[in-house]
Amino acid sequence: MTNPVIDLLKNHKSIRAYTDKPISDDIVETIFSAAIAGPNINNFQPVTFIEITDQAFKAEITAQVGMKYIESAARYFVVAIDFNKDLIGLTPEVRQLAEERLASYPMLEGAIVSAGIALGRAQVAAESLGLGSVTMAGALGSFELYEARLKLPKFVKAVMGFSLGYPDQEPGIKPKLPLSGVLMKDGYDQTTLEKTVMAYDNTMKAYYADRGVDSSWFKNNTKLLTRDRDMEPLSNYPTRKGFKL
């Protein structure tokens, strides 16, 4: 069973190389109008996309996080969760109570899920218009720059980077786990999952080998999960923005 929307979703590719072709404001507005039309926590609409247009600033971020597709993208956005907008118009008494509620971890979690939904919809909308994109958790390595330059208020926290541009590469579709690794019924099926993951590792080994890379899912996870990286600043970042973990 398929249709054009399902085909588009299944053929997603992260694009990290872009042409110099500009993206019009009309296209950007179309993409983000589709992105924000999705569901979110309690209709708080706690997601804001902040575009960085200063090329020198984009280059500074790129130098810090090592992602050249920030600097080279036609349009680059910082994705932020944003409960500041929900405090507008409240009386001082109500605002005080609201801030106490917003500080709770479930609100942070709900906002991050809402941002993920919006970001996924933005990618699909962009791909439907012939654009490519990439989402970057690693772009949060520059969160101090975002805080200093973007003047993010309390309860507004950067969570992701998002680059848009016309593709200048054909990276192919990266294999994902089959449904037996992500779809379960009436409980968590560890036995089936382990069999699925073992088989998937061989799939990824062949995928990387075709690209001249000696890797696999296990090897990649080992590298990423054991690399020496100080996560304390990022771990403390939510509390700086007013959230209690």
Per-residue tens of pLDDT for the chain, all 245 residues? 999 999 999 999 999 999 999 999 999 999 999 999 999 999 999 999 999 999 999 999 999 999 999 999 999 999 999 999 999 999 999 999 999 999 999 999 999 999 999 999 999 999 999 999 999 999 999 999 999 999 999 999 999 999 999 999 999 999 999 999 999 999 999 999 999 999 999 999 999 999 999 999 999 999 999 999 899 999 999 999 999 98
Q: Which of 129, 154, 173 is the last residue of a domain?
A: 173
Question: Does the residue 236 lie in any domain?
Answer: no
User: By residue range, what is the domain housing residue 145?
Assistant: 4-173
Q: 179 and 169, same structural domain?
A: no
* Distance between CA atoms of residues 245 and 230, nearest Å: 19
Question: Which pLDDT value is given to residue 22?
Answer: 98
245 inside domain: no
**148 and 196 in a common domain:** no
Q: How many domains does the chain divide into?
A: 2
Output the pLDDT for position 120: 97
Specify the pLDDT at position 229: 86
Residue 237 falls within a domain, yes or no?
no
- Residue type at 107 in one-letter notation: M
Task: Look at the pTM and tell me if it is higher than 0.85.
Answer: yes
140 and 65 in a common domain: yes
Q: Which residue from 74, 72, 76, 102 is spatially nearest to 87, judged by alpha carbons?
A: 102
Could you tell me if 41 and 159 lie in one domain?
Answer: yes
103, 197 in Cβ contact below 8 A? no
Count of Cβ atoms closer than 10 Å to residue 51 Cβ: 13
Where would I find the H helices in the chain?
4-10, 25-35, 55-65, 68-71, 92-102, 105-128, 143-150, 190-209, 217-226, 232-240
